[in-house]
Amino acid sequence: MNKRKTWISKGWCALIPVLSVVLSLGGCGFLVSETENSESEIQWAEIGEEVETQKIAETDGNLYPVSYQITQIHRDPEYVEEVIEEYNFSGTGSPIGEVENEKLQYGIADYLVTFPEDFPSGEYGVTNTPIEFKVVALDGGDIIKVDGINYKNLNDTVEIGDVPMGFDFFPPQTYEGQFVFLMVRDYGDYLFQEIPPEEREGAPQYIRGK
């Protein structure tokens, strides 16, 4: 096994109070020297491509088919800042803090989850509508390499969509989700990996970012 040198970027670590508490992107952002990564064949869908998956119905706790697609990725700083400010002002969830490291920037992904007519909803409808994603490298690993430097702890995302609370979402209907992610500025070689329910079997599913 090759040895590798590890150090801590002070600018990245300064974000710990913001990212670990406010955005739940916890941990210190270590930068590690370039190392060899094992090659693995990853198959991914493209932006706008529909993906079949399953979600747990709250009525009986069983898995049922749904489909989703990531429709658009926003990397424009002005747009991203505007959306995050609106989300913070709404008080829907914990506020998202500013990124103080000039090498990193927030991005926003829009996605849709389509619930078929036979998806169980019960009296209150469906509230378990979002799909959870994490950000990974093109080989499926948690470390994202840019210009010979590997970035850790860029994996977590935060849902900022208008999640239904009850009595307002009944199949057949489509949930319009949105989430914030952290990425190296102007870098596009990464994947969004779906985080499925533990009960769902099968290989991980990925969408290509940009």
**Does residue 16 register a pLDDT over 80?**
no
Measured in degrees and rounded to the nearest 5, phi and psi for residue 186 equal: 60, 20
What pLDDT, on the 0 to 100 scale, is given for residue 1?
Answer: 39
The verdict on whether omega for the bond into residue 172 sits within 30 degrees of 0, i.e. cis, is yes
Give the CA count within 13 Å in the CB-facing half-sphere of 23: 23
What pLDDT, on the 0 to 100 scale, is given for residue 27?
Answer: 35
**Does residue 32 register a pLDDT over 70?**
no
Q: Which long-range contacts (CB under 8 A, 24 or more apart) does 12-17 make?
A: 12/101, 12/103, 12/104, 14/100, 14/101, 15/99, 15/100, 15/101
| Residues 205, 115: Cα–Cα separation, whole Å | 18
Q: Closest Cα partner for 149 from 50, 6, 1?
A: 6
Q: Of 142 and 7, which is predicted with more confidence?
A: 142
**Does residue 6 register a pLDDT over 60?**
no
Burial class (CB in 10 A: 0-12, 13-18, 19+), 174: middle
Please report which confidence band the pLDDT of residue 199 belongs to, taking 50, 70 and 90 as the band edges: confident
How confident is the prediction for the chain on average, in pLDDT? 83
Mean pLDDT over 143-147 rounds to: 94
Q: Torsion angle of alpha carbons 49, 129, 87, 79, nearest 10°?
A: 10
**Does residue 26 register a pLDDT over 70?**
no
Mean pLDDT over 52-62 rounds to: 95
Measured in degrees and rounded to the nearest 5, phi and psi for residue 156 equal: -70, 150
| 84 membership: H or E segment, kind and range | helix 77-90
| Residues 15, 153: Cα–Cα separation, whole Å | 11
What pLDDT, on the 0 to 100 scale, is given for residue 40?
Answer: 56
Most confident of 14-18, 33-37, 68-72: 68-72
Cβ–Cβ < 8 Å for 207, 67:
no
